Chains A and B, each alone.
Chain A
Amino acid sequence: MMHGPGVIPRAEAIARAETAAERADTARRRADWLTHAILILGVALFALPIWIVLMGSTHDVATISRGEVPLLPGPYALENYWAAWTEGSARTTRVPVSAMMLNSFVMAMLIAVGKIVISILSAYAVVFFSFPGRMLAFWAIFITLMLPVEVRIFPTFKVVSDLGMINTYAGLIVPLIASATATLLFRQFFLTIPDELVEAAKIDGAGPMRFFKDVVVPLSTTNMAALFVILFVYGWNQYLWPLLITTTGDVETIVIGIVRMIGSEADTDWHLVMATTVLALLPPVAVVILMQRWFVKGLVETEK
């Protein structure tokens, strides 16, 4: 369309404006498609390692060992998962995955629940009572943030072994359930509980434990849920600690179990390693996805 300089007819002007708007619209839509394409590619690349293991776990050991790296499902899913679940890797560890899963589950649950109980009690003491040594107690808890197990490997192992807690659930769990993070989170939250509420409870004749049970705990449920997600994942994923204190298969967790299953790589049941990997990542991933709302809250709160 050619137009001379001068007056553009009104209808033409509107039509042009419309095309301009349409063009901008098309451009944006194209950009949106590009964004989608890149994001999908990103998600796919991101998920590729999981996909490979998921597909590999449905093939037999020969296929995997030949290095075919199948990207589509094979016929051995039931067989592999059943073998892993009931026997484990016959050539290396010989501990059934079901037993390791149970150990991991007990450990993760007790760590999560234990940490929440212990932390809420001590935060309650620090916030709602006045007693000699209050600040000292607070700082003693706070400073443990600076002493992760990774920096005190040998001495902590020695203490646990002196106490005869090697290869026990207690040794696996108790040393991990003191948590400065959870205590700080509860303390932060308790400080926002209005004083009037405490005053009212006192007038009604409620003692401290009654107030704790009837007011503080119900108010804290969201925080507990958020912490639970974070702590369950934390407990399930522990590696260094169980490695330090388990020397037999009795209390072996699944995360440790997989790595032992691989062994020296000479004789590895790769198909079972893959099935076990899928089983090992299911529970924590399920907790995070099902409790996504609390998970995000927990992540943000614990890092404050």
Chain B
Amino acid sequence: MRKKVIFPQVGLPYLLLLPQLAITFVFFFLPAAQAIWFSFLRQDAFGIRTEFVGLENFVELFADPLYRDSIWITFVFSLSVAALAMSVALGLAVLADRHIRGAAAYKTLLIWPYAIAPAVAAVLWIFIFHPQVGLLGRFLNGIGVAWDYKLNGTQALIAVIVASAWKQVSYNFLFFLAGLQSIPRSVLEAAAIDGASPARRFWTVVFPLLSPTTFFLLVINLTYAFFDTFGVIDALTKGGPAKATTTLIYRAYIDGRVNLDLGSSSAQSVVLMLAVIALTAVQFRFIERKVHY
């Protein structure tokens, strides 16, 4: 699409673009280029000498069993967060979509957790999961279940998954509700007249018609779980115990900011960039064409 009528000025558009392009260049392109360049370099222990090592950082990275573990953890974590956040949201949206009084009130009551920061959501869940000061944690220990997400890796993963998914439910709820409301009533009525039970109507009519929304949300939720849950993990488990909740982003942070490992951290950044590009490509390919039933 192109405007037919445009202003003839030549200098002005550059001036208008300057602030954004300057920031984009200094804080996006420069660091990204440096990440790629540094990923081929290695510094000695004292940070004095730097040498070009080719792909060695990458080879070392993928040879590291801990890095392979964190790939697996990221995978399990992201899929669980997406599945949990989406199924709860879909259930609530289906209920709220029934033509009952107060549907708008439920909407208001369910959307605000979107506004809560991931790290703050994690702090809220501390008071549920914590073995001493948390509601559920204390209860579990009281009935004889050894619950301590600071010691048990699986429990730690459950805690960060629940806290991350909780925050994302509102977002999914809004989009599922909009999707449900856009399904023509006539289709549902036709299915009802044909004698399909509510459950059957849901799985054979509503769910397939929702597939564009579902797919869109899947990509968004995976992206969220991948990148935006750093705060949850840092506040709740700090990647532990024994790295059981160290996702790829968390590891990149530890190696970059804490260990100041230039080569490895940069190589990890490059791997993550490739992951984002892949996710974005999938998103565009499918969403632009709309996934249809």
Contacts and interface: CB of A to CB of B under 8 A. Distances in A.
Interface of A: 31-32, 35-36, 38-39, 42-43, 46-50, 52-53, 56, 64-65, 67, 69, 118-119, 121-122, 124-131, 134, 137, 140-141, 144-148, 150-160, 163, 174-175, 177-178, 183, 191, 195, 198-199, 202, 207-209, 211, 233, 236-240, 243-244, 255-256, 258-259, 262, 270, 273-274, 277, 280-281, 284-285, 287-289, 292, 295-296, 299-300, 303
A131 B112 contact: no
A121 B24 contact: no
Chain A interface SS verdict (over half): helix
Given A258-B119, A303-B220, A292 B276 contact: no
Contact of A259 (B5, B35, B92, B235): B235
19 contacts: A52-B127, A64-B133, A118-B23, A122-B19, A129-B13, A129-B16, A140-B24, A146-B280, A147-B28, A152-B269, A154-B265, A159-B34, A174-B23, A178-B28, A237-B115, A239-B231, A277-B120, A280-B120, A289-B112
Given A150-B272, A151-B276, A159-B26, A43 B109 contact: yes
Given A128-B7, A140-B24, A281 B269 contact: no
Nearest to A300: B178
B27 A175 contact: yes
Contacts of B21: 122, 137, 140-141
A35 B230 contact: no
Contacts of A155: 30-32, 34-35, 38, 266, 269
Contacts of A233: 114-115
Closest 9 CB pairs of A and B: A154-B256, A237-B117, A239-B231, A155-B31, A125-B16, A129-B13, A151-B272, A125-B13, A49-B124
Contacts of B34: 155, 158-159
Contacts of B72: none
B5 A262 contact: no
Given A35-B98, A53-B127, A259-B119, 5 more contacts: A122-B20, A122-B21, A125-B12, A151-B272, A239-B231
A77 to B, nearest CB: 17
Contacts of A47: 109
A103 to B, nearest CB: 14
Nearest to B131: A67
A49 B127 contact: yes
A28 B93 CA distance: 19
B128 interface: yes
B6 interface: yes
Interface stretch (B46-54, B151-159, B166-174): B166-174
A69 B17 contact: no
- Greatest chain B CB density within 10 A among A126, A237, A300 is at A237
B3 interface: yes
Nearest to B128: A49
B95 A39 contact: yes
Interface size class of B (residues with CB under 8 A): 35 or more
B77 interface: no
Contacts of A38: 95
B70 to A, nearest CB: 14
Contacts of B253: 153, 240
B262 interface: yes
B112 A285 contact: yes
B147 interface: no
B13 A299 contact: no
Interface in B116-133: 116-121, 123-128, 132-133
Contacts of B128: 48-49, 52
Contacts of A255: 117, 119-120, 231
B24 A296 contact: no
A208 B127 contact: no
A177 B23 contact: yes
B182 to A, nearest CB: 12
B273 A154 contact: no
Interface in B248-292: 249, 252-253, 255-257, 260, 262, 265-266, 269, 272-273, 275-277, 280
B9 interface: yes
B117 A239 contact: yes
Given A154-B262, A202-B5, A39 B106 contact: yes
Interface in B220-262: 220, 227-228, 230-231, 234-235, 249, 252-253, 255-257, 260, 262
B23 A154 contact: no
B16 A258 contact: no
B111 interface: yes
B256 A157 contact: yes
Contacts of A39: 92, 95-96, 106
Nearest to A197: B5
A296 B108 CA distance: 11
Nearest to B4: A195
Contacts of A256: 119
